[in-house]
Chain A
Amino acid sequence: MIAGPLAGVQVVELAEGVAGPLLARLLGDANADVIKVESLDGDRARGWAPQVEGVGAAFGTLNRNKRSIAVDSSTASVISELAELADVLIVDRGLAEQMSVDLPQIMDKNRDLVVCVISGWGCDGPWADRAGGELPSQLASEATSSLGRPGEEPVRLGTEHAGVACALYAFQAVTAALLVADDGGGQRIDVSLFGSLMHMRSALWVALSNPDEWWGFHLDSYTKPPEHFYTCKDRRVLFQAQAVRDRVALVKDLKMDFVLDDPRWPMFREDTGALGRYGALVHELWDRGLSQWTYEEAAAIFSRHGGSMVACFTYDEFVADPQVQHLGLVVDVMNSTGGASRDVRPPWQLSATPASIRMAAPQLDQHGSEIREEIVAPRRGISQDT
């Protein structure tokens, strides 16, 4: 197998849940050697639902390409011994405190080490010591204001958006710091779930700064009603009409002449669908028109006029879509008990030094003894030399 871009990089992970494990998994996809250190209880995500062969389903994808060693408070010195040999140390701040990990001492012993500390709210400020999490970050960064209705129960994003974003940013920082660690030495990097979501919404903060015209698809998400897409005869769809050359002709082809007499026609003509300024106002007109057609029929008409339409795909339809199959997005991975499970390919396609899936997620302490041997061996070597 051709070595991936991070071949030879040694990573030690003391993290759980989504952010830290995904960061280490992505480094592993890029061919770094990742050792996952867990407490005797294991990563909390091992207990998440649904359970597949006794392990949370998400744990598998977040922890492939790793080996696992479990330690308790009496053997926690393994962490600093591993860190002495590593290029990267990833820690959840809370877990590191719980395990009494002495970061300054570790960094003092290994001057080239890149240490990434993940927290809920950031390393400074009044909440620095407060426990954070996915929903708390989504609420505090007002991400939830772009879903649901004001005043009602908040609607969370369907995915662990803060955890994933934090992992992706941390990956950038760690790989950038590694590029200069040979010359400039290691350093500490701090990232947080909350800070990551704050950054993901940067376009909104700019738009809110001082617009001449208080409108923009970034700005009206607070006040718009929930967007449930458009309804054809057979299913829900989203269309793109920005590039439609002649909107009157489109409307006539869709047998929607009634909109030409509607007082909302000027807004309708200007509107560009769900993201449009008047999207909510004219939504019902589109629904009335589109309900005369099946998705296939309506998509063909949009296409003729320079627009486009996509159907609201379920996950079943998404993973089965011929394009997704063509890309090879979903792959079969042998799990640690010998069965096969489905996973998603590494996210970058590198033509010369490909990323790869080499190992399924480990069982707790599956590699404990071999890793202990690896720590001991170099020490024996040192004592023999001296």
Chain B
Amino acid sequence: MPGPLDGIRVFDVTMYMAGPWASQILGSLGAEVLHVERPDADWSTLNAGAPPMINGTASGYIAWNMNKRGLAIDLKDPDDLQFAYDLIETCDVFMSNMRPLERMGLGYEKLKAINPRLVYCHATGFGRSGPRGNDRATDAVMQTFAGVWSTQGSRGGQGEFYRHATQVDATTGNLLAQAALLGLHARKRTGEGQFIEVTMVDAAATMQLPRLAEHSAGVTHQPQGSSAFATAPDRAFQCEDTRWIGVSVSSEAEWRRLCDALEHPELMSDTRFSINAARIEHREALEELLAGFFTTKPRAYWELTLSRAEVPWGAPMLWEHLRDHAQVLDNDYLVQVATDAWGTVWTGGPPWRFSTTPARMFGPPIPGIDTESLRADLDRANARER
């Protein structure tokens, strides 16, 4: 069976990360994505993307443009622009995270006139108007602006930046892919497309929903290492062999099971620790007690003990563990994909498993590789009409 979006065609004028990420998701779900790059590669994501580079191609281009076809169009060239319009007429979804699209002849009103059924999805940083409406946003800027730093860092230290800076971008892309899916649902009912906007501000807020709700309730967050804000005990403890184990108790049943696993059932009747709210109030005392218990045995002991007690735990892993790990490979969380520029690469496998309409992964296109065949398809269709 093909993917659930088989038969859906996407015109993809996106660059850098958030936009390409969104169309890559649609491609993985089976949509035919026509990814536009300019014929001269200076401007393209090939060079503007993230290092490292191989064969003039950035890792970002590889990582964010899988599951697509390559279309080279110079939108400043009238003939090419007409070619774009002809293709857009055959598309279901238009995706962009660039501006100003109106000036490029790709504004919503213009494209709606060409194809009223087009679901037009647009990602912006701060929106399209307002005091920061023209500011450029990046993942790093949004982490700083939206207070992401303020809730994470070492215990009692200053908040810190998340050094794998792509996560606000990816979240924006995930919301943009959802926008396309919602537009397709609405179109089923109304028969018409629409304009849909997603901002990086909304993405940063979505990522932080629990924290923002706590903030609304009067909490001022301070970085606290591995400890959770809403639940306790929920942090990493150091074991006898100096290795760390993350223990995450977020329900009363898990708390009781942890007390049993630690062989300290008396904790259950300690009024300071009776319910989560009390454990949060007495977190320091609780964590100090537990830290003492965990240092008495090596991590392997706790892994087995907590597994048997059905208490959630996790241990820090790194790339060199992950790429050979059965849990990762059995679920296809890492997959190998053949690419033109980089040979075979590892990347994240589809994050969903469908029982009847499987997702797919294939390598990113050489920019423009499908331009001529798309042009020939259009010519044939036009000839048939005549």
In the complex where A120-B312, A125-B327, A172-B177 touch, is A210 in contact with B342 (Cβ < 8 A)? yes
Q: Please, how many angstroms separate the alpha-carbon atoms of A202 and B130 in the complex?
A: 34
A52 CA to B216 CA, complexed, in Å: 10
- Distance A196 CA – B275 CA, assembled complex (angstroms): 30
Assess the A139–B315 pair: CB atoms within 8 A.
Answer: yes
B-contacting 9-mer, from A211-219, A247-255, A258-266, A284-292: A211-219
* Residue A233 interfacial (CB < 8 Å): no
Contact among A47, A60, A145, A159 for B208, CB-based, below 8 A: A159
Determine if A190 and B353 form an interchain contact, defined as CB atoms under 8 angstroms apart.
Answer: yes
**Would you list which residues of chain B between 167 and 206 have a CB under 8 Å from chain A?**
167, 170-171, 174-175, 177-179, 181-186, 188-190, 192, 194-199, 201-203, 205-206
Residue in contact with B152 in the complex, picked from A157, A194, A327, CB distance below 8 Å: A157
- Option from B192, B229, B252 in Cβ contact (under 8 Å) with A49: B229
Query: Beyond A147-B153, A154-B236, A161-B167, is A127–B334 a contact (Cβ under 8 Å)?
Result: no
Given contact pairs A50-B218, A187-B355, A323-B130, A199 touches B333 in the complex (Cβ within 8 A): yes
B158 at the interface (CB under 8 A from A): yes
Chain A interface extent, by class: 35 or more
- Asked whether, in the complex, the Cβ of B211 is within 8 Å of the Cβ of A317, the reply is no
Q: How far is the CA of A166 from the CA of B322 in the complex (A)?
A: 19
A226, A237, A319: residue with the most chain B Cβ atoms closer than 10 Å: A226
Given A49-B231, A218-B164, A323-B133, are A179 and B211 also a contact pair (CB < 8 Å)? no
B212 with A344: CB separation less than 8 A: yes
Interface residue tally of chain B, by bracket? 35 or more
**Does B107 belong to the interface (CB within 8 Å)?**
no
Contact partner, B25, options A138, A172, A236, A326, Cβ 8 Å: A172
Given contacts A158-B152, A198-B348, A308-B136, contact A5 B326 (CB under 8 A): no
The interface residues of chain A, by DSSP majority, are classed as: mixed
Chain A residues within an 8 Å CB radius of B50: 203, 207, 216-218
Contact pick for B150, options A60, A237, A315, CB 8 Å: A315
Partner of A194, one of B141, B225, B327: B327
Whether A62 and B182, one on each chain, are in contact in the complex, defined by CB atoms closer than 8 angstroms, is no
In the complex, what distance in Å separates the CA atom of A347 from the CA atom of B161?
24
How many angstroms from the CA of A22 to the CA of B207 in the assembled complex?
11
**1/0 contact trace for B242-285 toward A, CB 8 Å?**
00101110111010000000000000000000011100100000
Residue of A nearest to B352 (CB): A173
**Cβ contact within 8 Å between A341 and B216:** yes
Q: Report chain A residues within 8 Å CB of B355.
A: 187-189
User: Is B163 interfacial (CB-CB < 8 Å)?
Assistant: yes
Quick check: is A73 within 8 A (CB to CB) of the other chain? Answer: no
* Complex interface bits, B277-318 against A, C-beta within 8 A gives 1, otherwise 0: 100100000000000000000000000000100111111111
Asked whether any CB of chain A lies closer than 8 Å to the CB of B100, the reply is no
> A44, A49, A165, A217 — which one has the most chain B CB atoms within 10 A of its CB?
A49
Q: Which of A16, A177, A206, A274 is in CB contact (< 8 Å) with B347? A: A206
- 1/0 per residue B354-366: CB within 8 Å of A? 1111000000000
CA of A130 to CA of B315 in the docked complex: distance in angstroms? 13
Contact A201 B214 (CB under 8 A): no
Q: A160 and B333: CB pair below 8 A?
A: no
- In whole Å, how far is B271's beta carbon from the nearest beta carbon of chain A? 16
Answer whether residue B155 sits at the interface, using C-beta atoms and an 8 A cutoff: yes
- A17 pairs with B162, CB closer than 8 A: no
When chains A and B are docked, how far (Å) is the Cα of A290 from the Cα of B18? Answer: 31
Given A5-B183, A58-B230, A314-B150; A155-B317 close (CB under 8 Å) = no
A371 within 8 A of B: no
- Tell me, rounded to whole Å, the shortest Cβ–Cβ distance linking B308 to chain A: 10
Contact A133 B203 (CB under 8 A): no
Q: At the interface with chain A, which of B54-62, B77-85, B375-383? A: B54-62
With A139-B316, A204-B164, A275-B140 as given contacts, are A312 and B149 in contact (CB-CB < 8 Å)?
yes
Question: Which among B163, B334, B343 has the greatest number of chain A C-beta atoms within 10 A?
Answer: B163
Q: How far is the CB of A127 from chain B (nearest CB, A)?
A: 5
Residue A324 CB within 8 A of the other chain: yes
A171 CB–B CB distance under 8 Å: yes
Whether B87 is near chain A, meaning CB under 8 Å from some CB there, is: no
List chain A residues, Cβ under 8 A from B144: 229, 237-238, 310-313
Q: With a CB–CB cut-off of 8 A, which chain B residues contact A345? A: 202
Asked if B152 contacts A47 (CB within 8 A), the reply is no
CB <8 Å contact, A58 and B214: yes
Answer whether residue A329 sits at the interface, using C-beta atoms and an 8 A cutoff.
yes
Q: Is the CB of A171 within 8 A of B178?
A: yes
With known contacts A203-B60, A315-B221, A347-B202, A353–B186 Cβ distance under 8 A:
yes
Contacts A/B (CB < 8 Å), 29 sampled: A6-B185, A17-B250, A48-B230, A123-B331, A125-B329, A139-B314, A140-B315, A142-B322, A154-B226, A169-B352, A176-B3, A179-B5, A196-B351, A201-B164, A212-B54, A213-B51, A216-B59, A218-B50, A310-B144, A315-B150, A321-B145, A323-B132, A326-B131, A329-B201, A347-B178, A347-B203, A348-B182, A349-B196, A352-B194
